[in-house]
Structure 1
Amino acid sequence: MADTDDEPPDLAGPILADALGKSSARAAEMVREHVEFNDEVLSTVLLGGFGRWYWSSLQEGRSDAPDALRAAQVLGELFADGDDEMETVIATGFLEALPHPSEDGREVVEQLPSSLRGWLRHMENWKPTTVWNPTR
């Protein structure tokens, strides 16, 4: 699926794919499968898959949990050092895929790097400053 003139390029995608692919053999396999299926890196889709993997691996205590933790560490570093686009795709892809406060498995959030854990809590505590009124 190639970019069109109407779609901005996904500049974070190649950076994410490269960094995650280097974190473990399992992560490299996930990136490869994603690219084969989508013909390109779709950052938020890729990171949603990584979020679900992180959640299930840690919650179930699977043998690939250390790999999922390494991938989260890589994402934490990219988030802390990244630009607005990188922060946005990690938040909307990876963090949004994690369990919400009332869901089973929420304890996996405590194992996130501090930058990601802090931003997730910020997202969850956000309240709009004004209420939209369609009659105005």
Structure 2
Amino acid sequence: MTVHDPALGSQAAFRLSQLDDLEACVVIYLRLWCAGPQGRCAMRSDLTNGLGKSRADLTTKAFAAMVDLLALHRRRPLHHHALNSACLHPDEANFARFVANAASGDREDALWLAMLMVRADLAPQLTAVAADFGLRIRQMLVQRPDQATCLH
């Protein structure tokens, strides 16, 4: 059972600073991943600083699986802003909300959002991977807040 927070999702976010820490990390990691090998290396370094090497490996694999599913089975491209942009694209906000919902156990809302991104038959798989990734990021933020920077 999840606790319903009426403030979540009730207001559009237009700036990265309006997101909570988990959602901001998701957006930043998406931007880094899409920036190519150097961005992926920066993401991996940040995860290693926050989680340690072995858990960073698992977290990176979960993120890669999620992005691969989106790349192979997307309904349409997932748009994002440049890495240093303070603005937030609606696709980024929805993707971050999707991961946050999956990580918090709000499976129905996460599945609904997943079906907007991929075919309905792949939505449970995408949601499971997003939950794994989101929980790992949440763990990083809670257990080691001084080391978990998410590069922001």
- What TM-score comes out, normalization by structure 2 length? 0.30
Q: Which protein is bigger by CA-based radius of gyration?
A: 1
Bigger relative contact order, structure 1 or 2 (CA pairs below 8 A, ≥6 apart): 2
- What TM-score comes out, normalization by structure 1 length? 0.33
